[in-house]
Structure 1
Amino acid sequence: MAKRRPRGRNVNGILLLDKNSGVSSNGALQMVKKMFAAAKAGHTGSLDPLATGMLPICFGEATKFSQFLLESDKSYRVTAKLGVITETGDADGEVVRTADVTASPAQIEDALMSFIGDIEQVPSMYSAIKYDGVPLYKLAREGKTVERKARPVTIYDIRILRIESDELEFEVDCSKGTYVRSLVEDTGEKLGCGGHVTALRRLSAGPYPAERMLTLEQLGKIKETGGFEAIDELLLPLSTSVADWPRVELGDNAAYYLQQGQPVMSSDRPADGWVSIYQASSEEFLGVGEVLEDGRIAPRRLVSG
């Protein structure tokens, strides 16, 4: 039986989408995929419909490296309202309890800052984590609650932007898997008044800064004036997904054998860990590999030739 050809254009690269509020991550992905008429595309970590900001979209060969963006550190700008607890931990949920906010700005700051470092968070019942194959938020919408294990995360830094009465605005740098809603809820609990997220914006993901983001509206205007060629030029190279990894350059022979799936030797490598791999003569990005105990570099994800 003949192999079915993919429907759509063979597009490769990474787009930094500035997701609008009110649309799901998958909804935004489908709109971008349609705009590019791309055969293959995927996003790298969901943002709640309420949230805006950086949602890297991987096209074609870039989907091989999307997992590394999923595992990368993130930064967010957060607005929270203290004294109001909602069902979901954000403004989309029903209010379940209110309380007076008696804490001073200094006490609010101390409570939030106490979470900097290695902490454990219990995922919200409205998270996308799966329990017996079912996302928790689906169980929550059915009125079910299940026990969730605390997960280790790291809060690298918190910068408070504003504290006004019961409203708090701050930026946070954190590891993968951090739930900002849980951070706000835990801060509210520590203050004895509760709290929820009213606005959330992802500022960065891994090596990507906020300045490179584009909204769907901006993409639409660029395509309207320049067509596919204009929006294709907006795509970042595959190598940018691991731009902050150690770089190894291979000679032509080693590059050939690596592309055949064989581990190769290189003197230009770290002692261990994962590396981004280039062919020295052409500066071409070949993919990523892992340094083995014997010093060889084993291919893990390679760009198709």
Structure 2
Amino acid sequence: MFFYKKRNVHGLLLLDKPKGISSNNALQKVKIIFNAKKAGYVGTLDPLATGMLPICFGESTKFSHYLMQSNKRYHVIAKLGEKTSTFDSDGVVIQKRPILFDSLKLISSINEFIGTINQMPSMYSAIKYKGLPLYKYARKGLNVQRKTRKIIIHDIYSVHQEKNLIEFKILCSKGTYIRTLIDDLGEKLGCGAHVIFLRRLQVASYCNNQLITLPSLYTLKNENNINNIDFFKKIDSLLMPVDSPISFLPRICLSTQKSYNFALGQTVKLNFNIKDGLVRVIEERKKFIGLGEIKQGKLLIPYRLISTHAAN
């Protein structure tokens, strides 16, 4: 087995995280496959959860926080009548109660969650307290005082209940804990509930059909000699552009000379009026060079530049 120097890889991969591993574990597997120097994931998924886990490589990590701020869509199935220690099926059942509510109570209870609400994060979450994630305290039997956080539940739809199972889809803001939402719903219904299935369907505007699975990456790896540069070309072709996390921002194209000045950190004057705000800056040969801020409708100020060696 030969050991190669880590590669400078740039772009975004939409990984379909499998069940049973942590988000960080999934990230490390992908980094090894790509032999990448730098990568990070956006939005933690529990080991129980599957689905969309955006992984930003290299220069794309500079813009990953824009995805952190975006809405997420989930498909969830919960088991009624049982409350668990972790609010999901990975925990132990700590209370059992009969299921006595009717359909009207179910719909009215669900509707109470739609809109802006305060949510108390679970002790089994990755939120840090004094440098350590809360779940590490929880595993030691410790309970840390937490503050509620404002979140937005935009919609809960496709609701279906069958016996002791309830299934629905949800569109929510950043920072929403689906396990906590299910536990809270169980309390409103008076029977308790916990998550048994959770899949993230969407982050920002990225769609479910854009996902790449770990098995498909391993298949490519096995089909190609790892020493062969063609393998890296194949997997790199799966990456979205460096500026994909900020694709919602308007873009402006600069001449070669103005692009050169902008890339050096210089303010550039524009010949036409553009609304003030952040924009993606593209060199006339279609190469993304960074994020700029328009001021006074005619000045373009460098906001976040990428390395001149980054691929587009």
Q: TM-score, normalised by structure 1?
A: 0.91
Q: Take 1:265 and 1:253, find their aligned partners in 2: how far apart are those partners?
A: 12
- 2:292 is the alignment partner of 1:289: yes
Q: 1:269 aligns with which of 274, 284, 288?
A: 274
Residue in 2 that maps onto 1:51: 49
Q: Take 1:296 and 1:151, find their aligned partners in 2: how far apart are those partners?
A: 38
- 2:9 is the alignment partner of 1:11: yes
Q: Take 2:140 and 2:295, find their aligned partners in 1: how far apart are those partners?
A: 47
Aligned amino acid, residue 238 of structure 1:
V
Q: 2:126 aligns with which of 125, 128, 145?
A: 128
Q: Take 2:205 and 2:306, find their aligned partners in 1: how far apart are those partners?
A: 20
Shift of 1:293: 6.8
Shift of 1:29: 0.7
Residue in 2 that maps onto 1:201: 199
- 2:46 is the alignment partner of 1:41: no
RMSD: 1.9
Residue in 2 that maps onto 1:176: 174
Q: Take 2:52 and 2:223, find their aligned partners in 1: how far apart are those partners?
A: 24
Q: Take 2:188 and 2:215, find their aligned partners in 1: how far apart are those partners?
A: 41
Shift of 1:250: 3.2
**Structure 2 matches for 1:106-185, cutoff 5 A?**
106-185=104-183
Residue in 2 that maps onto 1:303: 306
Unaligned runs of 5+ in 1: 1-5
Contact 1:54 1:203 in 2 (8 A): yes
**Alignment identity in percent?**
47
Q: Take 2:96 and 2:306, find their aligned partners in 1: how far apart are those partners?
A: 53
Contact 1:287 1:301 in 2 (8 A): yes
Q: Take 1:80 and 1:60, find their aligned partners in 2: how far apart are those partners?
A: 38
Aligned amino acid, residue 244 of structure 2:
T
Q: Take 2:298 and 2:145, find their aligned partners in 1: how far apart are those partners?
A: 43
Report how many residues are paired.
298
Shift of 1:192: 1.5
Q: Take 1:87 and 1:133, find their aligned partners in 2: how far apart are those partners?
A: 23
- 2:209 is the alignment partner of 1:211: yes
Q: Take 2:222 and 2:105, find their aligned partners in 1: how far apart are those partners?
A: 52
Q: Take 2:202 and 2:158, find their aligned partners in 1: how far apart are those partners?
A: 17
Q: Take 1:216 and 1:30, find their aligned partners in 2: how far apart are those partners?
A: 11
Please, which moves more after superposition, 153-162 or 255-264? 255-264
Residue in 2 that maps onto 1:222: 220
Q: Take 1:161 and 1:57, find their aligned partners in 2: how far apart are those partners?
A: 31
Contact 2:274 2:297 in 1 (8 A): no
Q: TM-score, normalised by structure 2?
A: 0.89
Residue in 1 that maps onto 2:30: 32
Q: 2:82 aligns with which of 58, 61, 84?
A: 84
Residue in 2 that maps onto 1:3: none
